[in-house]
Chain A
Amino acid sequence: MVGFSLALNVLDIIDDRFHSYENSCELFNYLLNSPSSTEDDSGEPAPVLPEQWLWDIIDDFIYQFQVLCSWRSKIKSKSDDELMMLADGTGVWSSYSVLNVLYPLIQKSKINEYILALKEEQVKGGSRTAEEIANSISPYTALPLYRTLGYFSVLGLLRVHVLLGDFTLGLKVMDQIGEFRWLRLWCQIQQIISYRPPSPPSNPYLNTLLYAIRTFVTVLNSFQRMQRMHGYAGYERMDQYDQIAKTADRTLALYAMCHSLVLPGSPFTRLDDTITNTAKERYGEQMGRMSKGESDALVAFEELFLYTCPKFINANSPPYDDPEAIALMLSADQESARFVCFLAAHHYPQIPLIVTSVSSSCPQLHSLRSFLHLYTSLTTEKLTSFLDLAKIGEADRESVEGTEAEEEAIQEMMVFKQSSKSLSRMVPARLGGQQLIQHCHPRVKHIIDSTSSSRWMRAMALMTVFYEEKESRSKLPMKLYLYSVTNRNVSSSLLHLLQIYCSPHSEKHCSFALEKASEVAAIAAVASGSQDAAVAALAEAMRL
């Protein structure tokens, strides 16, 4: 352990980098080949290390890999000596070598099997303890050292994959560990925060925006808890605190991005108003730009993405072992020496990607959504004019342009439909989204919102239906109530609703009202958090 430097921040000397690689390899080899206590013949005790150290070992290993890779990919500004060294040591710190450490650690510890078994045990309600389960899987799993190392290796693997731009694999290695366990673990050991930033960008790529948002909310909540803890035991190190604050800030930026990407009004977007408000405070300007669409939004997205994304690295080092190729690359001017394809225009190939997905979901959809919100049926002509695709006042509306614009509107609708769907992470399930149906003949679209979650919303929706039947003019106020409910003004809208329940209009539905009113009152009490409102609501309910 002597030569293994845990905080090798200054990587000036290439010798050091290569030596630290050798040291790490030696250490990992020792860990991988040392006997577990049960098959121990030599009498050597099984290795035990504090968890913190294990974390630092893996963390530092990947950190050095990352730093070295980005250093290595810059061909210019290398001295002859350095070039020599690099030519000799092409295998050192290659992607393969890193994976060759992490995968065996995971396999040796059988961490995935262990977690699966734990889950099964939970489902079955069995009485075996975690220790017993670990023992039954393999002698190595039984050792806390390997178990913890296995955990951390999975996290490390995730980080490496994301650094290399492979988000699919990144999520795949997390299959078993899952967010929850990960999070719990991560709360215990604060240093894991340094791991957090790489992972989130992968979520938006996989069309699982809503899922991503939920993750961010959970994460941000625990960040806030941690920040509140500042000053208490365990947080005496200032740099740690800074680290937490910085990561929280980045996660907040990601949350802001996702929030702007997802269509407003979908279920789950209103998950946490506190967080949304914090995000608005911090990134209000960018969020405004992002929701407007147009080219400005793309700039804002790029800004935030650059701020939040990890420093992506290249999988391969330049061909230092081939002096001719290196000379060629050095002599060629910067542009052609870089990657030949159009991705080179950006620092990271990932940027155009996120930008395309942004540009396809962003520009008009937001305004489209807000128009649809107001109508239950709407002609395409009207919609086209709303969207500014054609100017309705112009004389020849029947011209070719007019129909083209209408076509545009219809295509936009299809995009809208598509983006309102979302895949949940692994299970094929529809998370809902706005319903919108188009009948071609009368050129009318029928629109209906998917109401989100809670019971009072359902009660409201029911009310709306019967109220609309009864008296179509009162539709608008009802819609407004619905809206105010979604906008947090819960208690007052609920009181209003109760009044409607009690009003003579609803005589026919009296039994329904009686049944629901007390529930509504109760929920009002909780939602408003004010006892007065609750009492008022209860009183209202009693009077029925």
Chain B
Amino acid sequence: MATSWISPPTRTELIENLVSGVDRYNPSNVGILEDYLYHQIRSQEYDCLANLAILKLYQFNPDLYNPDVAINILIKALGACPLPDFNLCISLLDERPPNASLDEPDPLPSLLPVLHGLHHLLYRCRFPAFWRAYRSEQLDTLRDNYTVECAGFEDSIRDVVIRAVKSTFTRIGTDRLGTYLDLHSPESLKVYIDKLGWTLNSEGTVVNIPPNPDNQIEAIVVQENIKLPQLSKVISQAAVKA
């Protein structure tokens, strides 16, 4: 997970040079990075470091600041839970004076607590509560203006769910999985499960999750290499004294 986080396979060379070089501070590159963000949104890719580079440019150059881009970055970061991406993005959105030059009022301040709440629910694995909040009327603006354009947003949240479920369960009831994934009809759930390669039991009520390193019962023993010869001095000393 860590390597693809530092450099996702979908990142192009141009972006790679921007992100890892000094050129990331050049304000004239913000357009390229923003285009890359919209490319991520359209094609369900995710590149946290590139997005952080945009926020960095906003931090240094308040004139560049574009609230829509910032919100989209945060929405993308939600799908990376439980990695700390969301918090890392927030820490770059530091204080800035109210921006009078924008035509409309900045939507970020009102949406930030909402996004923060959603992230908290995800982080605490409160998946049913997350879906309830996400579908609620108060979040109409978020859904209609932002997440609707972010291709596969709901699927990226489902991936978060799958990561948590996969490491905790070996078998899980379809009802429960359905509420976690917000897939209430058995057919849609079946399709989703098939895609993952998971299997249903004969009655169709319990999903079997294939073994993975996290859900297998075995004691992990962290080895420490102390060989007896290494201790021979101590022992011989003790023996002589005795």
* Residue in A318, A329, A343 whose Cβ sees the most chain B Cβ within 10 Å: A343
Q: Binary interface profile of A, 222-244, with partner B (CB < 8 Å = 1, else 0)?
A: 00000000000000000000000
B17 CB–A CB distance under 8 Å? no
Q: Quick check: is A501 within 8 A (CB to CB) of the other chain?
A: no
User: Which residues of the other chain, A, contact B135 by a CB distance below 8 angstroms?
Assistant: none
Indicate if the CB atoms of B231 and A522 lie closer than 8 Å.
Answer: yes
Contact of A427 among B2, B90, B98, B234 (CB under 8 A): B2
User: Once bound together, how far apart are the Cα atoms of A493 and B238, in whole Å?
Assistant: 20
Q: A307 to B108: give the CA distance in the assembly, Å.
A: 30
Which of B54-62, B138-146, B151-159, B186-194 binds A? Answer: B54-62
Q: Which residue of chain A has the shortest Cβ distance to B22 in the bound complex?
A: A103
Taken together as a complex, chains A and B put the C-alpha atoms of A279 and B96 apart, in Å, by 38
A417 touches B167 (CB 8 A): yes
Q: A205-B91, A450-B221 are in contact. Are A329 and B239 (CB under 8 A)?
A: no
Q: A342-B109, A426-B2, A450-B219 are in contact. Are A440 and B60 (CB under 8 A)?
A: no
A14 contacts the other chain (CB 8 A): no
* Chain B neighbourhood of A461, CB < 8 A: 219, 221
Q: For the complex, is B14 an interface residue (Cβ under 8 Å from A)?
A: no
Residues of A close to B109: CB separation below 8 A:
340-342
Cα distance, A531 to B233, chains bound together (Å): 12
**Contact partner, B235, options A316, A418, A538, Cβ 8 Å:** A538
Which chain B residue shows the least CB distance to A535? Answer: B242
- Number of B interface residues in the complex (CB < 8 A): 74
A96 on the B face (CB < 8 A): yes
Q: Are A448 and B219 in contact (CB under 8 A)?
A: yes
CB-CB < 8 A to B241: which residues of A? 531, 535
B238 touches A206 (CB 8 A): no
Question: What's the Cα separation between A433 and B91 when bound, in Å?
Answer: 28
Q: Does B184 contact A (CB under 8 A)?
A: no
Question: B95 contacts the other chain (Cβ, under 8 Å)?
Answer: yes
Bound-state CA distance A366–B56 (Å) is 37
Per-residue CB contact flags for chain A residues 405-433 toward chain B (1 = under 8 Å, else 0) read: 00100111111011101011011101011
The residue in B113, B216, B221 that gathers the most chain A C-beta atoms within 10 A of its C-beta is: B221
B164–A439 touching, CB < 8 Å: no
| A522 touching B235, Cβ below 8 Å | yes
Q: Cβ of A439 and Cβ of B59 under 8 Å apart? A: no
- Asked if A344 CB lies within 8 Å of chain B CBs, one says yes
Interface pair A538/B239, CB less than 8 Å apart: yes
- CB within 8 Å of A: which B208-242 residues: 213-224, 226, 228, 231, 234-235, 237-239, 241-242
B168 and A438 within 8 A (CB): yes
List chain A residues, Cβ under 8 A from B69. Answer: none
**Docked-complex contact A339 and B25, CB < 8 angstroms:** no
- Cβ–Cβ < 8 Å partners of A413 in chain B: 168
Residues of the B chain whose Cβ atoms lie less than 8 Å from the Cβ of A427 = 2
B221 touches A458 (CB 8 A): yes
From 108 to 137 in chain B, residues with beta carbon under 8 angstroms from any chain A beta carbon are 108-109, 112-113, 116, 119-120, 123-128
User: How many A residues touch the partner, as a band?
Assistant: 35 or more
The stretch that binds B, out of A58-66, A127-135, A182-190, A350-358, is A350-358
Contact at A455–B220, with CB atoms within 8 Å?
no
Q: Determine if B97 and A435 form an interchain contact, defined as CB atoms under 8 angstroms apart.
A: no
**A156 CB–B CB distance under 8 Å:** no
B133, chain A: closest CB distance, angstroms? 15
State in angstroms the CA–CA spacing of A414 and B109 once bound together.
Answer: 31
The A79-136 residues at the B interface (CB cut-off 8 A) are: 95-96, 99, 103, 107
Contact A353 B231 (CB under 8 A): no
CB contacts (< 8 Å) of B219 on chain A: these are: 435, 448-451, 461
B170 touches A439 (CB 8 A): yes
Residues of A within 8 A of B39 (CB): none
**Residues in chain A near residue B108, CB distance under 8 A:** 341
**B68 contacts the other chain (CB 8 A):** no
In whole Å, how far is B48's beta carbon from the nearest beta carbon of chain A? 8
Are A341 and B112 interface neighbours, CB within 8 A?
A: yes
Contact B90 A353 (CB under 8 A): yes
Q: Is B149's CB within 8 Å of the partner chain A?
A: no
Contact of A325 with B100 in the complex, beta carbons under 8 Å: yes
- Asked whether B22 lies within 8 Å of A423 as measured between CB atoms, the reply is no
User: What residues of B have a CB within 8 angstroms of the CB of A439 in the complex?
Assistant: 169-171
Decide yes or no: A448 and B164 within 8 Å by CB, A360-B124, A525-B231 being known contacts. no
Interface residues of A in 431-460 (CB under 8 A from B): 432-433, 435-441, 446, 448-455, 457-458
A-B contacts, 5 of them at CB < 8 A, read A166-B92, A325-B100, A339-B95, A349-B90, A457-B221
In the A-B complex, list the 9 residue pairs whose CB atoms are closest, starting with the nearest. A339-B95, A450-B220, A414-B125, A341-B109, A534-B238, A428-B2, A453-B224, A340-B109, A432-B220
